[in-house]
Structure 1
Amino acid sequence: MASNFPGERDEKVKLQTKKGHDMTWSCDKHGEPVKYYCKEHNIPVCYPCATKYHKPCELDDIENVILEKKGKLDDKQQEIEEMKKQLKALDSKLQSTATSASNHFQSVNNELKTAFEDKLKIVKDKEKRSIRSIEEEAHKEIQTNNEKRERRIKSCHEEAEQQQLTITKRQAKVESETKAISEVVAKQIKDLTSKNQHAISNIDHVEGKIKQIQKDDKTLVNEAPQVLASLDDNLSSNVHQYVSDCLDRIQREVQKVKFVEGEVGGEHYRRIDGYIGKWELVKSIHIPSIVYYPLMRGLISDDEICMFDVKNKVTYVANISTEHTQKVIEGDGNVCITSCTIMDSNIIVCGKGNRGCTGDSLDGCITLYDRQWKVIRDITIPRNISSDNTSVYVDVDRDGMILAAQKIQSNIYVINPDDGRIVNTITLQGKVLWGKMQALSSGDIVIRTNKYEFTVILRSGEEKVAIYCDEWCASCCQVDKLTDTLYITYWDGERSIYAVDQVSCDGIIQARRIVKHERSDRCSFINPCIVTPFGNLVACGGDQLFVYKKRFIM
């Protein structure tokens, strides 16, 4: 028993091995047989260990412990067998469950596969429908684009054909002008050739007569005085000198004929010009009585003229082709149009006179209009005069810039039409602006600088040439934009008519009174003679517009 600790006398007692138990167990430390089991430390011990290390502990005989533990294990054998039966029974269930689970998962997989296949089919079907829809839309877009392309191509063809037709017509017109001039020259040469041949025939006849009368003395004596008189007549007629002078004149005039071309309001024009010629009235256009005091303010197309009614302050456009006059701007008692020109085919720029101006700037004295005469924008320039009544004149230079100046001032402003900003200021040297100014194709500017004088100035403001005539007391100047020729309209008091002089931009008066017309009671103000890009002159007599065309003469 555990409480009976063995004595010394029992040290050599041999342990008796019980049946079924091999007692060969010895202590690892002392080599002695294991005899006891320490319950406190739960370890088997030999006698020396028991006496030395486990004396206060509760010991039990090792055999009893072995038998006790073996009994406990034997008791568990039945449970093991029962457990083995249960586990073996579970093995079948495991197989069945595994098979059932596998079948179930296969069913689930089949179900989800079907579901996902259905979903994939839906996506693919949707993709096909979308692609078909895209293709249909693309086809429609392509068809629409093709139709649009065809319309644009057709429009392009039509526009090109119209332009080609216009060019062909203008070419035919210019060629007809050249042909008409060549016919005049050919007729003159033919007449001179006939005159020369007639003189040759007369001389030949006299020479033959002389030879004839020299054969007989009696005939010689009787007819010599008459033959000599005839010879003197032919020699004194000086046909040779006359024909030679005419041919020199023809050559000079022919050399003046030029093909000219240039830009006017964004459009390109071409014509035959350069010669002096004779201006013939080709059309008279009635001005409606509603336009009481008409003043021509500028050309806004190749056949449209801007007119301002001084009395009613209303602006009109007269078409010299259709002979129709239309109101475009209602009257304003404080505003009048002073000048008008074209920026391009879509924009018109007007200079204005204005009453009631105050402050440091002139607002509303320069206006850009579209072709329907709707205001695009007003442009402002500095106000350099103390009076509240001022006039601003405008033109467009070769670079498409607006030139603007205030009357009785020395500054000309160069303005960018895109933003209305002043990009340069030209200051006249020793002179001021008296009236309308106009740009030349060279870049120079023509301005009226006093009652009898027009001055061509450089862009630096320096005077290039002054053009003066003491008959130009009340006068207006208009520039031909293709040739830079100046046409100065004035009142000829001696003849009581309006007259036009032709002057070169170098200041040479080339021809006086090329056009003359009377004035009516509706023409108390001087009107400029407008020059069209096709070379026609348009004068205003108050009741009518007179259209003149130049003809080549010898």
Structure 2
Amino acid sequence: MASKFPTKKNGEVELRTRKGHDMTWSCDDHGEPIKFYCLEHKLPICHPCATKDHQKPCKLKNIQDIISQRRENLDDKKPKIEETKKRLKTLVSKIETVATSASRSIDAVKDQVKMTFEDKLKSVRDKKVGMVREINEEADEEIRMIHEKMNKRIKDCNTEIEKEEKIIKDKEAKLLSDTKTISEVVTKKTNNLSCKNQHAINTLMNIESTIKRVNQHDETLVNEAPQVLASIDENLSLNVHQDVSDCLDRIQSEVERVKFVEREVGGEYYGRIGGYIGKWELVKSIHIPSVVNKPRVCGLVSDDEICVRDEDNNVMYITNINTQHTEKVIDEGVWITSCAPIDSNVIVCGKERDDCTDDRLDGCITLYDRQWKVIRDISSNSVYVDVDKDGMILTGQFDQSNIYIINPADDKIVNTITMQGKVVWGEIQALSSGDIVVCTGRNKYTVISRSGEEKAVIHCDGSDWPQCRVDKLTDTLYIAYWGGARNPIAVDQVSRDGIIQARKIVEYEQSDRTNLLSPCLVTPTGNFIGCDGNKLLLYKKTLIL
């Protein structure tokens, strides 16, 4: 096989002699000069190669012919190469022109792209500015609304607090005015007693002076002594000392009764000056409209709202003692026995039903809202109801010994009080101490503890079905009864331990409109309410010494 042409560093072909032959090209395998060219294998070969490896079917040509032919072929390409070189050289300027033009076009496109996307970025940034502005405007509006709402709430809060403060200040002013009035009454009375006592002292001093003068002359002594002695006897018989002392004792005793009483009734706070007996004076008469055929007072549902039942049809009315307006609230034909406020939103009523045949009177307790819409019935063996200081419902049924304590939140009985040897005959009322006043007979009321222990018995002898009601703030009992011949009505004041504090503190005539005795009520603010059958009679108490 032929060797490759070695080259010099300058790129020229380097000819070399192989194996003692003077040759410039020899076979690598045999060291012989290259003589032939195998067309089949496309290789330059020596003579040994031709005879050994490249016989037929290989086709051989003389290497010189191949060299000449190849040289001719190359020389033939020179004109075309020169022509192509000329043509290519002419493209140099065009390339530069095209490159410059392309660069300008591309730069123009780039500029257009940049401008377009700068516009788009500006549009997006403008959009961002608009969105931020809108967000800020919305935030400003929300902040404005929040401030407006906050300011309104603060204003409403201030208004409400100012209103509550005014109520508190008005109540305080009323209580201070009441204490001032009591103080003025005491001061006036003690000043009168002081004047009376001083007048008695001055009289005795004048008598002493007269005795001294009369004793100075026998004639004067003989002539004036009988008159002086008569005057002494007259003044000493008046016993001013005892009268003043007794009156002072009464003042002290009555003033010691005066106290500030406070309590929540029906979920609302009340406070007043009370405790003393005083004197009840009629200040207002409220006519009961003729639509209420036979009115009977059932109870209080607020400080100024009186429940009045028509005994003809058992329809319930509410009379407001301030507005003097009477409104029908229950038209069920159900006998409401008693009612009381649980809180400022809920009223509980006890009912008596003719369709109950056993000791379980389902639906005999009903909760109403302040618009007198039924909230729900409570299934319980109950007729009479009241609400204690904790907002629990007290209930019991006629002729039964049990009194039940019911939680109005879930209607569950939380306690059962069993009276020993006694049964419920009428009203059940809660005292602030936790004790309970129960009508246990035709003319008897019993005070019992929460354990059922009897603490006091109040007998109303000589009276037919008296009506007892409790002042919720002082626990004083007011017992209304027929004063005689079933026409005059009288009221006694009794302590919760059964001691009669005052007889006939109020008396009034019963009208012919009804023959039923209504109980007397004391509102949480201290108004005394009686009913003569035609009118509700409003009394206020003053301190009398």
TM tier relative to shorter chain: 0.7 to 0.9
1:203-243 C-alpha deviation (Å, 9 max, x unpaired): 22332233223323454455545544443443343322222
Checking the alignment, whether the CA contact within 8 Å between 1:281 and 1:548 is kept in structure 2 is yes
Please give the residue correspondences for 1:311-322 in structure 2 after superposition, counting only pairs within 5 Å: 311-322=312-323
2:437 corresponds to 1:446: yes
Tell me, in whole angstroms, the C-alpha distance in 2 between the residues paired with 1:69 and 1:401.
130
The alpha-carbon distance between structure 1 residues 462 and 127, as it changes in their structure 2 partners (threshold 3 A), is: same
1:462 corresponds to which of 452, 463, 473: 452
Q: What are structure 2's unaligned runs of at least 5 residues?
A: 1-17
The DSSP-based 3-state class of the residue aligned with 1:24 is coil
1:425 corresponding residue in structure 2: 415
Q: Identity of paired residues, percent? A: 54
2:407 corresponding residue in structure 1: 415
- The alpha carbon displacement at 1:179 in A equals 2.5
Tell me, in whole angstroms, the C-alpha distance in 1 between the residues paired with 2:344 and 2:138.
40
1:144-172 C-alpha deviation (Å, 9 max, x unpaired): 55555555454444444444444443333
The alpha-carbon distance between structure 1 residues 411 and 239, as it changes in their structure 2 partners (threshold 3 A), is: closer
What is the one-letter code of the residue matched to 1:547?
L
What is the one-letter code of the residue matched to 1:292?
N
The alpha-carbon distance between structure 1 residues 532 and 52, as it changes in their structure 2 partners (threshold 3 A), is: same
2:466 corresponding residue in structure 1: 475
1:534 corresponds to which of 518, 525, 534: 525
What is the one-letter code of the residue matched to 1:396?
V
Tell me, in whole angstroms, the C-alpha distance in 1 between the residues paired with 2:423 and 2:42.
134
Tell me, in whole angstroms, the C-alpha distance in 2 between the residues paired with 1:272 and 1:507.
22
**Structure 1 runs of 4+ with >6 Å offset:** 12-17, 358-361
- The alpha carbon displacement at 1:501 in A equals 2.6
- The alpha carbon displacement at 1:277 in A equals 1.2
The DSSP-based 3-state class of the residue aligned with 1:281 is strand
- The alpha carbon displacement at 1:543 in A equals 0.9
Tell me, in whole angstroms, the C-alpha distance in 1 between the residues paired with 2:358 and 2:454.
34
- The alpha carbon displacement at 1:316 in A equals 1.6
What is the one-letter code of the residue matched to 1:372?
Q
Checking the alignment, whether the CA contact within 8 Å between 1:403 and 1:415 is kept in structure 2 is no
What is the one-letter code of the residue matched to 2:179?
T
The DSSP-based 3-state class of the residue aligned with 1:478 is strand
What is the one-letter code of the residue matched to 2:315?
V
1:188 corresponding residue in structure 2: 189
Please give the residue correspondences for 1:32-431 in structure 2 after superposition, counting only pairs within 5 Å: 32-46=32-46, 58=58, 60=60, 61-74=62-75, 80-81=81-82, 84=85, 87-88=88-89, 91-134=92-135, 148-221=149-222, 223-329=224-330, 331-333=331-333, 335-356=334-355, 364-375=363-374, 377-382=375-380, 384=381, 392-409=383-400, 410-417=402-409, 420-422=410-412, 424-430=414-420, 431=422
- The alpha carbon displacement at 1:496 in A equals 4.2
Checking the alignment, whether the CA contact within 8 Å between 1:365 and 1:378 is kept in structure 2 is no
The DSSP-based 3-state class of the residue aligned with 1:122 is helix
1:406-455 C-alpha deviation (Å, 9 max, x unpaired): 444424142244xx442623333435443332333334433333333334
2:14 corresponding residue in structure 1: none
Tell me, in whole angstroms, the C-alpha distance in 2 between the residues paired with 1:13 and 1:121.
85
Tell me, in whole angstroms, the C-alpha distance in 1 between the residues paired with 2:271 and 2:137.
52
The alpha-carbon distance between structure 1 residues 13 and 340, as it changes in their structure 2 partners (threshold 3 A), is: closer
- The alpha carbon displacement at 1:257 in A equals 0.8
Checking the alignment, whether the CA contact within 8 Å between 2:449 and 2:455 is kept in structure 1 is no
- The alpha carbon displacement at 1:314 in A equals 2.2
Normalised by the length of structure 2, the TM-score is: 0.82
Tell me, in whole angstroms, the C-alpha distance in 2 between the residues paired with 1:426 and 1:482.
25
What is the one-letter code of the residue matched to 2:370?
R
The DSSP-based 3-state class of the residue aligned with 1:345 is coil
What is the one-letter code of the residue matched to 1:412?
Y
Tell me, in whole angstroms, the C-alpha distance in 1 between the residues paired with 2:408 and 2:85.
109
Q: What are structure 1's unaligned runs of at least 5 residues?
A: 1-11, 18-22, 385-390
Identify the range of structure 1 (301-310 vs 208-217) with the bigger mean alpha-carbon deviation.
208-217
Identify the range of structure 1 (392-401 vs 244-253) with the bigger mean alpha-carbon deviation.
392-401
2:503 corresponds to which of 504, 507, 512: 512
Normalised by the length of structure 1, the TM-score is: 0.81
The DSSP-based 3-state class of the residue aligned with 1:483 is coil
The alpha-carbon distance between structure 1 residues 324 and 13, as it changes in their structure 2 partners (threshold 3 A), is: closer
Checking the alignment, whether the CA contact within 8 Å between 1:453 and 1:466 is kept in structure 2 is no
- The alpha carbon displacement at 1:189 in A equals 1.5
Checking the alignment, whether the CA contact within 8 Å between 2:301 and 2:341 is kept in structure 1 is yes
Tell me, in whole angstroms, the C-alpha distance in 2 between the residues paired with 1:92 and 1:207.
161
Tell me, in whole angstroms, the C-alpha distance in 2 between the residues paired with 1:374 and 1:511.
41
Checking the alignment, whether the CA contact within 8 Å between 1:477 and 1:486 is kept in structure 2 is yes
Give the number of aligned pairs: 524
The DSSP-based 3-state class of the residue aligned with 2:503 is strand
Checking the alignment, whether the CA contact within 8 Å between 1:38 and 1:57 is kept in structure 2 is no
- The alpha carbon displacement at 1:26 in A equals 3.9
RMSD: 3.6
Checking the alignment, whether the CA contact within 8 Å between 1:275 and 1:552 is kept in structure 2 is yes
Tell me, in whole angstroms, the C-alpha distance in 2 between the residues paired with 1:155 and 1:538.
36
The alpha-carbon distance between structure 1 residues 125 and 302, as it changes in their structure 2 partners (threshold 3 A), is: same
Checking the alignment, whether the CA contact within 8 Å between 2:261 and 2:272 is kept in structure 1 is yes
Tell me, in whole angstroms, the C-alpha distance in 1 between the residues paired with 2:314 and 2:447.
31
1:388 corresponding residue in structure 2: none
1:163-199 C-alpha deviation (Å, 9 max, x unpaired): 4444443333323322222222222212222221222
- The alpha carbon displacement at 1:98 in A equals 3.3
Tell me, in whole angstroms, the C-alpha distance in 2 between the residues paired with 1:492 and 1:379.
39
